[in-house]
Homo-oligomer: A and B are copies of this chain.
Amino acid sequence: MEFRLKPRIGVMGPALCLPDVYGLAREVGFLIGKKGAILICGGKGGVMEASARGAREAGGISIGILPGASAEEANPFIDIPIVTDLGNARNAINVLTSQVIIAIHGSYGTLSEIALALKCHTPVVGLGTWDLTPPGGEELPITYARNAEEAVTAALNLIATHAGNVRI
């Protein structure tokens, strides 16, 4: 079990989502698990649950970084719960622990994770997520994917090309 060498891919998305977004997140999680990567997520419902479910279906492993004070709030597909009791401040941990994040659709929490990832230089892949224009109008370093396969491929490539500062 060489966990240390496995890439860590974060999947960020809303706790409540429609079935098509759930299905998309599940597919992303499945591909992450199949590639032998570790899934990092917020541990709760919606996109977080769907991606952890997909990872489990592929025989992968998932980490859920929870906002509350009890492991019992984790969705049933989380393998290892990290219990923070930090509320939304735990979003900063999600994006530092991930070597790349895939933002799927997304509510305000997801937007904060995109922003925090950009801030701490964790690469971001967007999949049907927020459209963002900075005050200066410059282009953001976000890779936009059109489907689950493109997103996971882009994520793995971003980890590979950031090899210099990859967080082991």
Contact = CB atoms under 8 A, between A and B. Distances in A.
Interface string A67-93: 001111010001111111111111111
A166 B118 CA distance: 32
A45 to B, nearest CB: 16
A117 B133 CA distance: 18
A51 to B, nearest CB: 16
A4 B78 contact: yes
A100 interface: no
A139 to B, nearest CB: 13
Contacts of A82: 63, 65, 82, 93, 97
7 contacts: A1-B79, A63-B80, A71-B168, A84-B89, A85-B120, A87-B92, A132-B132
> Nearest 6 pairs between A and B by C-beta?
A71-B167, A112-B115, A3-B79, A85-B87, A111-B115, A108-B119
Interface of A: 1, 3-4, 8, 38, 59, 61, 63, 65, 69-72, 74, 78-93, 96-97, 105-109, 111-112, 114-116, 118-120, 128-135, 167-168
